[in-house]
Amino acid sequence: METNMTFGPVEGKNRVFILDVLRGLALLGILMVNMPVFNTPFILVIGEGRMWTDPLNKTAFWILDYFFHGKFYALFSFLFGMGFYFFLKKVDEAGKTMLTIFRRRLFVLLIIGVLHVVLLWYGDILVVYALFGFILTWFRNKSDRTVLIWAGVFLLIPLVFTTLMLSVVNLAMSSPEAASKLEQTFSGQQAYFDQLAERAMVVYSTGSFSEIISMRLTEYSYIWGGILSFFPFVLAMFLVGMLFGRRGYLADIKANEGFFRKLFWINLPLAIMFNYLLATNASVAQHAFPSGELVLMMLGFAIGGPSMMFVYLSLVVFCLNRGYLQWLASKIAGAGRMALTNYLTQSIICTTIYYGYGLGMYGRVGIVNGMLLTLAIYIVQLIWSHYWLQYFRFGPFEWAWRSLTYRRLQPLKK
C-alpha cells in the first residue's frame, strides 16, 4: 500500500514489498474461490444445490472451503484497511490531509465497481469496498481499543444475525399454524429459486450480451439481500488492517518477527478447528434459509477465515525474512502492484470462457478443472504483470483510477 508522505501516488522504492506480495497472493486465492461462482447461478451458490457432487469434486469443494473460502477476501480487505491508514498519513501540496482525496478515490472505485457489475460479473466486491470505505473514514481518529472492539462487533454480526433468524424460525415452527405457513413460504421461495437457476443456466450459456446483463442484475439484487450475512466481515478486516498500519507491524517485518511468531501459533489451532467446522457444514448449509448447519458454518467463517489469514500472513513474513522463494515472491509482488487490473482481468477472462458471447462453457467446468484453470490464468497474470511493469509505472486500471483520483493524468510509461 502507499507509505510515502508526499502528495501523489506511490511507486518504486517507496512501496512496501511484502504488501505487494500479499496482494498478489490474495489474487490467487480470490480467483480460486470465484472460479466456481463464475460458472454457477448465484441461487445455487447460496443454496445447497451444488452442481458437482461426485466424490472428486466434493473433495475439491472441501479443500476450497477449508483453505481458501473467507481467507483471501479477508486478506484483501485487511490490506485495503492498511492502505487507508497509509493514504491518510500523506499530505497534499497545501499541507492538508488526504481525506477529501481518499473519498474521491472511493467514489471512482464505486464507479468502477458498478461498471464491473453491469458489464462483467455479479460477484463484484469493489462496490462493497467503496461504500464501506466511506464508513471506515469514521474510525480514522478512534483509539486502538475502540477500533478493535468495533472490528469484533462487525465480525460477529453475520453469526449473530443468522442465529437470531434461526431462533425466530424455530419459535415459529413450534406453532402448527405458523409452521404450515412458513413451510409454504419456504417451498414457494425454493420453487422460484429453482426456476431462476434454470433460467440463469440458459441465459449465461446461450444468451445475448443484453440478456446476460439483465440476468446478472437480477442475481446481484439477491446479493444485497444478504447484506448482514457477509459484508460486515469486510468492514471488520478493514479495521484490523488499519490497526496493523498504525502499529507498523509490516513496515519492518524483521524487527517484528517475534510478533508474527506469536500471531502464527495463536491462530494456527483456531484455523485448524474452525475451518474444519466451516468446510464440513458448507456443503449442506443453505444461505437462503436459517439452519443449524448455517450457524455452524458462519461460526467457522467468522473465526476460521481471519485466523487462517493470519497464519498465511505469518508464513509469508517468515519466508521473506529468511530469503525463501525470493524469485517467486518478486513475480507475485508484480501481480500485486497491478491488483485492480488483475482482479478485473480475471472477470474478463472467466466470463469470456463461460458466457454465451464467448466460449459458452457455463456450467460445464467442474471444481477440479476450475482449480487447474485458476492456476493457468494466475501464471499468465504473473508473467504479463512482470513484463508490463518493465515498461509502465502502473497497471492500466490503476493508472485510470489514480488519474481520476488526482484529477490529472499520471505518467504511465517509465
Quote the CA–CA distance of 41 and 44 in Å, as a whole number.
5
| Grid cell locating 48 | 445447497
Pick the more confident residue, 341 or 231. 341
Pick the more confident residue, 376 or 180. 376
pLDDT of residue 378: 98
- CB 254 within 8 Å of CB 97: no
Quote the CA–CA distance of 84 and 205 in Å, as a whole number.
39
Axis crossing angle, helix 72-89 with helix 99-119, rounded to the nearest 10: 150
**Which of the four pLDDT bands, split at 50, 70 and 90, describes residue 287?**
low
pLDDT of residue 3: 36
Q: 41 to each of 124, 133, 197, 237, how far by Cα in Å?
A: 14, 28, 6, 28
- CB 20 within 8 Å of CB 251: no
Q: End-to-end alpha-carbon separation of the chain, Å? A: 20
Quote the CA–CA distance of 231 and 155 in Å, as a whole number.
9
Q: 128 to each of 21, 275, 298, 374, how far by Cα in Å?
A: 23, 25, 20, 24
Which residue matches cell numbers 469486510? 234
Q: From its phi and psi, is residue 147 left (phi > 0), alpha (psi between -120 and 50) or beta?
A: alpha
**Which of the four pLDDT bands, split at 50, 70 and 90, describes residue 6?**
very low
Mean pLDDT value of segment 202-214: 93
Angle ∠(35,354,287) on CA atoms, nearest 5: 45
pLDDT of residue 97: 66
pLDDT of residue 94: 46
Quote the CA–CA distance of 149 and 371 in Å, as a whole number.
37
Sign of the alpha-carbon dihedral angle for 30, 394, 399, 235 = positive
Pick the more confident residue, 169 or 411. 411
How high does pLDDT run on average in the chain?
89
pTM of the model: 0.91
pLDDT of residue 102: 92
- Lowest average pLDDT, out of 172-176, 241-245, 405-409, goes to 172-176
**Which of the four pLDDT bands, split at 50, 70 and 90, describes residue 47?**
low
- What is the b/e burial string over 77-112, where b = at least 16 CB atoms within 10 angstroms of the residue's CB? bbbbbbbbbbbbebeeeeeeebeebbeebbebbbeb
Strand, coil or helix: 413? strand
- CB 204 within 8 Å of CB 355: yes
Q: Give one DSSP letter per residue of 277-296, joined into a string.
A: HHHHHHTT--TTS--HHHHH
- CB 344 within 8 Å of CB 121: no
How many residues are present in the chain? 414
pLDDT of residue 43: 78
Pick the more confident residue, 130 or 414. 130
Mean pLDDT value of segment 190-211: 89
